[in-house]
Amino acid sequence: MASRGNADCNVGYYGVGIEDYLDEAGNMKAPLMLHIAEEDYLVPKLAQEKVKDELKNNQFVTIYTYPNVDHAFARADGKNYHEEYATLSQERSKSFLEKHLY
């Protein structure tokens, strides 16, 4: 998560295991954008809800969820590729990075 290191901002896709590090969220010093596939077989619904609930009031965090898609929905050559959501998440990430890096 964005609680370690000195990056100017952070973008994460899928968020595998983030629920195990939520106790570090108070240490965040830089913006974080997360893209979560709602049907991700590697991130159970309970874990997704925990992440969203714990981070919803964190000033540094922006979370986007994508319904009816699985892990790796943004990987162009992957079996779970979803063109619409991949494009949307990339546009969101690009805007976020431009805002925080330039």
d(CA 63, CA 46): 16
- Judged against a pLDDT cut of 60, whether residue 1 lies above it is answered with no
Structure confidence by residue, pLDDT tens digits, 75-98:
999 999 999 999 999 999 999 999
Sheet strand arrangement including 32-37? 10-13, 32-37, 61-66
Domain ranges of the chain: 10-101
pTM, full prediction: 0.93
Q: What is the CATH number of domain 10-101?
A: 3.40.50.1820
Query: Known catalytic residues?
Result: 40, 71
Are residues 36 and 65 in contact, defined by beta-carbon separation less than 8 angstroms?
yes
Give the pLDDT mean for 12-37: 94
| Of 66, 38, 63, the residue nearest 53 (C-alpha) | 63
